[in-house]
Amino acid sequence: MKLRGHRRTAAALLLVLSLQGTVFAQTGTPSAPIGGDKEARAPIPPGVPTTATNVHLPTEGEVRLGRESAAQVEKQFKLVTSGPMYERLQRVAREVVDALQRPDIIAEYRKVYKLPRSGDTSKRVPFEYSFKLIDTKEVNAFSLAGGPVYVNRGLMDATTSDHELAAVLAHECSHVAFHHVEQMVRKEKSASQKQLWGLLAAVIAGAAGGGAAVATAGNVLMAGSYVSIATLSGYGRELETEADRIGVMALADTTYNPVGMLTFMQKLARDDSRRGNPDYGIYQSHPYSNERVAAIKKELTTRGYRVDAGSLRQVSGSFKAEVVPMKLNGRDAAEIRLNGNLIFTVLADENDAPPRERAQRIAARLNQMFSDNLTFNDVRKSPEQSAVLLKGIPIIRVLPEDATAAGGVETAMDRAYREIIRALIVEQLDKPS
């Protein structure tokens, strides 16, 4: 069934394979993200001796192994190489890579692992960060030695904001930048080359495939899988916690809010809970996702970030009011939708604002209320049953012309009231236990 005795070994093998004792490290500056294969086919540049200023970079052997492992991955899985989802991945990745190159991140790596070590004769080369999209609906991402990062299409869909996607990529790049597979290899010196090779195919199959493939592969991690790591114990958990912490640290000075690390992990914990901890796939260790939620929340609050409901709504992008322009009886109109569900149709002008402009104003006020920690206890109906009050303020006022689309003023008001209440209650129910 599961390869419990080999989990950490399997997680480490992608970096240790064929290195034959080479000490891991890195030189120069990490490269910019690449999407194609032209750069990967170019010869690895000559390495330079390890120094105190370049010890954070990968060794020649590490980059070589990353390329070899990437070639194996790409033999088995179809890649998406163009389109909006691919372009989104590349755009967000560029800033994440820059963040991982900051002096404070490099200094943290040296501090944590007490580097450089005396007698290190490794040759250092630049990172080869690349970000590729695997065409599968499984929610997963993983990184390889030296910089290759793979993200499944399912994870792209699951990250409902660029803040969340940046958090996942920062986590994966932290595994690479902090050489986490090296740290695991140092703990697994007793593993034979034959054992490691024997697990390689299973790890590659499981990391991207998820579900039954992960079960077959022993539910192991490929060099730091963001989701599958939940099945690791002890030492693996320490590295996952560190990758979360460094990811938060890296995003601190970017356009992306590190609270996205929390909102995405909460989604995983919620889904974990709903599955009832079944004995398969990436959902094998239910309690661990909740542990990570708590650790990430603590890290964020220590750094001064808001982690209240309003902040989580803003960052996740999964709780918001939006306007959908439409025509009704040949006239311009607009629907206001909350989390995709219709709450109110605007037909009437108000204070010289046509319907679509009025709808935009209403949606903006709704979103402001949501970011101010609105709860279902703050939602009321006006005494005359013609408006929805949020914290005592009439946000949605039903005018007579608006009522024609809903069958009456009170009916239109009641629908908006019920949908807002329903969304807020669902949000509470979706919180991980």
Query: What tens digit of pLDDT does each residue of 80-125 get?
Result: 999 999 999 999 999 999 999 999 999 999 999 999 999 999 999 9
User: Among 4-8, 154-158, 194-198, 421-425, which is the least confidently predicted range?
Assistant: 4-8
- Is pLDDT of 58 > 50? yes
Q: Average model confidence (pLDDT) for the chain?
A: 81
Confidence at residue 69, expressed as pLDDT on a 0 to 100 scale: 84
Percent of the chain with pLDDT over 70: 74
- Cβ distance 236 to 160 under 8 Å? no
Confidence at residue 180, expressed as pLDDT on a 0 to 100 scale: 82
- Is pLDDT of 280 > 50? no
Is pTM beyond 0.75 here? yes
SS (H, E, C) the chain: CCCHHHHHHHHHHHHHCCCCCCCCCCCCCCCCCECCCHHHHCCCCCCEECCCCCCCCCEHHHHHHHHHHHHHHHHHCCEECCCHHHHHHHHHHHHHHHHHCCHHHHHHHHHHHCCCCCCCCCEECCCCCEEEEECCCCCCEEECCCCEEEEEHHHHHHCCCHHHHHHHHHHHHHHHHCCHHHHHHHHCCCCCHHHHHHHHHHHHHHHHHCHHHHHHCCCCCCCCCCCHHHHCCCHHHHHHHHHHHHHHHHHCCCCCCCHHHHHHHHHHHHHHHHCCCCCCHHHCCHHHHHHHHHHHHHHHHHCCCCCCHHHHHHHHCCCCEEEEEEEECCEEEEEEEECCEEEEEECCCECCECHHHHHHHHHHHHHHHHHCCCCHHHEEECCCCCEEEECCEEEEECCHHHHCCCCCHHHHHHHHHHHHHHHHHHHHHHCCC
Query: What tens digit of pLDDT does each residue of 187-224 get?
Result: 665 554 444 444 444 444 444 444 434 333 333 333 34
Closest CA to 101 of 133, 54, 168: 54
In angstroms, the Cα distances linking 57 to 26, 50, 149 are 2, 9, 16
Query: What tens digit of pLDDT does each residue of 337-382 get?
Result: 999 999 999 999 998 899 999 999 999 999 999 999 999 999 999 9
Residue 154's pLDDT band, with cuts at 50, 70 and 90, is very high
Confidence at residue 128, expressed as pLDDT on a 0 to 100 scale: 96
Confidence at residue 93, expressed as pLDDT on a 0 to 100 scale: 98
- Cβ distance 11 to 223 under 8 Å? yes
In sequence order, which residues have a C-beta less than 8 Å from that of residue 257 and are 6 or more positions away? 163, 251, 305, 314, 315
Question: 216-221 long-range CB contacts below 8 Å, 24 or more apart?
Answer: 217/3, 217/10, 218/2, 218/3, 218/4, 218/6, 218/7, 218/10, 219/2, 219/7, 219/280, 219/281, 219/282, 219/284, 220/3, 220/6, 220/7, 220/10, 220/11, 221/7, 221/10, 221/11, 221/142
Which of the two residues, 375 and 2, has the higher pLDDT score? 375
Residue 171's pLDDT band, with cuts at 50, 70 and 90, is very high
Which of the two residues, 55 and 21, has the higher pLDDT score? 55
- Cβ distance 43 to 175 under 8 Å? no
Query: What tens digit of pLDDT does each residue of 3-37 get?
Result: 233 333 333 344 333 333 333 333 334 454 444 44
Which of the two residues, 174 and 68, has the higher pLDDT score? 174
Confidence at residue 276, expressed as pLDDT on a 0 to 100 scale: 57
- Is pLDDT of 239 > 90? no
- Largest interatomic CA distance in the chain: 82
Which of the two residues, 75 and 159, has the higher pLDDT score? 159
Confidence at residue 275, expressed as pLDDT on a 0 to 100 scale: 63
